Amino acid sequence: MSLALIDCNNFYASCEQLFNPALRGSPLVVLSNNDGCVVARSAEAKQLGIAMAAPWHTLKELATRHKVIALSSNYALYGDMSERVMRVLSTFSPVQEVYSIDECFLDLTGAKPSPRACGLKIRHTIYRLLGLPVCVGIASTKTLAKLANHYAKKREAFQGVCDLAELSLGEVDRLLGETPVGEIWGVGTRLAERLSSSGMRNVLELKRAAPTRIRTRFNVSLERTVRELNGERCLALQTSHVQRKQILCSRSFNQLIKVISPLEEAVAAYATRAAEKLRAQRLLTTCVVTFVRTNPFRTDLPQYEKSTSTCLAATNDTRLIAQAALQGLRDIFREGFGYQKAGVILSHLVSDHQRQADLFEQSQNVERSDALMAAMDRINQSMGSGTVKLLAEGCDPRWAMRSQNRSPRYTTRLEEVAVATAG
């Protein structure tokens, strides 16, 4: 079996550089919500030693000295480019697991003339069609494919595509022996430290450990990792046919909110986004959860955190979902706190062809609702998200994220498309 893990290189930074070529060759970082921490770095920013998740305010001096460019996250752009990447990748194999915004697994078993040749073609095609660099790691298990991707990125000899099956066992073990355990998928910093103090500093040392001993000393998921490192498949591909269990939409505010009306606008907006995602996946929800919380780091302020859920007859109607979410908010809102975050979760999802008619609902209402929602989605997709919306979302949301330095939404807003000028 040949599993490939395709990962976009420095995805957010690459999307920015694609539409603004003046950014190429410069150290560039993309910041998280509210311009807090570094969430992506260009190769040049990595070379300066800027760490992932570093708080931006600690980098100001370095940034001035090296002219580091910092951009706010542009999720409309990254989300849209991600969809295009995944769509192109899906043409290379019928079995695809989209693992994150910039990564997916493909089953390349039996690819002609070879999985590695197919990997090179994938790399070439994504660059030609979308202008984004990707690396491909291929191996017999997901854990090994992740590592192979790491080698494809870090070792130039692989030219961006590494198929561990093309190497001899000795060569593979030599690579694993040079790789710290912290590089393994699912092994975080703390687990890596525990492994190191038990004498397993590199991947090869973990690979050679006895799986049952690992289970008793650590846990069953690390045991699976050891088996996967030895080529035994424990983690199956989760193709998109496997339905999502819930849809979450939430954000932190740019300032603490003390009164209910901006929270209502935010919750209505999150309910709207969540309902759009629900319809895009042809799902219905039967349970709407609303939650709010204060800022846990402001220990000088009173703390509060609460969630509530409302059950509904299966629906994907934005109006019903927002209504339920707002009712939930009114139930849990308490005066006297500074709220930092609110969110909406849709759970107990069912496929939209399993709709059970509500006893009191006329099927005519369902048809009208479907037609209205389809019209809203069409307008918002073609003319930009939020063109048609619920009045409850408000018209000038002050609670919206701070993103002072966001690039244009080149691919999803007509008024923000890139303009080419001939000089």
Of 62, 78, 47, 10, nearest to 403 by C-alpha is 78
From residue 293 to residue 322, the character string flagging contacts with Mg ion as x (rule: CB under 5 A) and all else as - is ------------------------------
Out of 2, 4, 7, 176, which residue is the one contacting Mg ion (CB under 5 A)?
Answer: 7
Query: By C-beta, is 41 or 227 nearer to Mg ion?
Result: 41
Quick count: other Cβ atoms within 10 Å of Cβ 93?
20
State both tokens at 214.
């690992």
Q: How far is the CB of 423 from Mg ion (least distance, A)?
A: 34
What are the DSSP calls for 197-236, one per residue? Answer: HTT--BHHHHHTS-HHHHHHHS-HHHHHHHHHHTT---S-
Q: Residues 161, 152: contact at Cβ < 8 Å?
A: yes
CB atoms within 10 A of CB 172: 22
Least distance to Mg ion, CB of residue 146, Å? 11
Residues 161-180 that bind Mg ion (CB under 5 A): none
CB of 149 to Mg ion, least distance (A): 9
Q: Is 223 in the site for Mg ion (CB under 5 A)?
A: no
Phi, psi of 42 (to 5 degrees): -75, 165
Which of helix, strand or coil describes residue 350? Answer: strand
Residues 326-355 that bind Mg ion (CB under 5 A): none
Pick the piece of the chain touching Mg ion (CB under 5 A) from 7-15, 35-43, 289-297, 348-356. 7-15
Strand partners, 305: 293
Upstream peptide bond of 302 is cis (omega within 30 degrees of 0): no
Which of residues 7 and 223 has its CB atom nearest to Mg ion in the complex? 7
Q: Which stretch binds Mg ion (CB under 5 A): 8-16, 121-129, 322-330, 367-375?
A: 8-16
Within 102-161, the residues that bind Mg ion by CB under 5 A are 102
Closest contact distance (angstroms) between CB of 31 and Mg ion is: 17
CA contacts within 13 A on the Cβ side of 76: 18
**Which of 4/329 has CB closer to Mg ion?**
4
Q: Is 73 helix (H, G, I), strand (E, B) or coil?
A: coil
**DSSP letter assigned to residue 96:** E
Q: How far is the CB of 85 from Mg ion (least distance, A)?
A: 11
> x/- site string to Mg ion, residues 81 to 110, per CB under 5 A?
---------------------x--------
Instruction: In angstroms, give the least distance from the CB of 52 to Mg ion.
Output: 11
Site string for Mg ion, 45-84 (x = CB under 5 A): ----------------------------------------
Binding mask 9-28 for Mg ion (x = CB under 5 A): --x-----------------
CA triple 229-231-233, angle to 5 deg: 100
Stretch that binds Mg ion, among 2-10, 14-22, 237-245, 323-331 (CB under 5 A): 2-10
Give least dist CB 285 to Mg ion, A: 31
Q: Pick from 22, 16, 27, 25: which is nearest to 68 by CA?
A: 27
3-state secondary structure (DSSP) of residue 280: helix
User: How many alpha carbons fall within 13 Å on the CB side of residue 77?
Assistant: 24
- Helix locations, 281-420, DSSP H: 318-332, 363-383
Q: Which is nearer to Mg ion, 24 or 330 (CB)?
A: 24
Residue 11 vs 291, nearer CB to Mg ion? 11
| Residue 34, token pair as written in the block | 């509210």
User: Who contacts 244 (Cβ-Cβ below 8 Å, separation ≥6)?
Assistant: 281, 283, 349
The count of residues interacting with Mg ion (CB under 5 A) is: 4
Smallest gap from residue 133 Cβ to Mg ion (A):
10
Least distance between Mg ion and beta carbon 7 (Å): 4
Binding site for Mg ion (CB under 5 A): 7-8, 11, 102
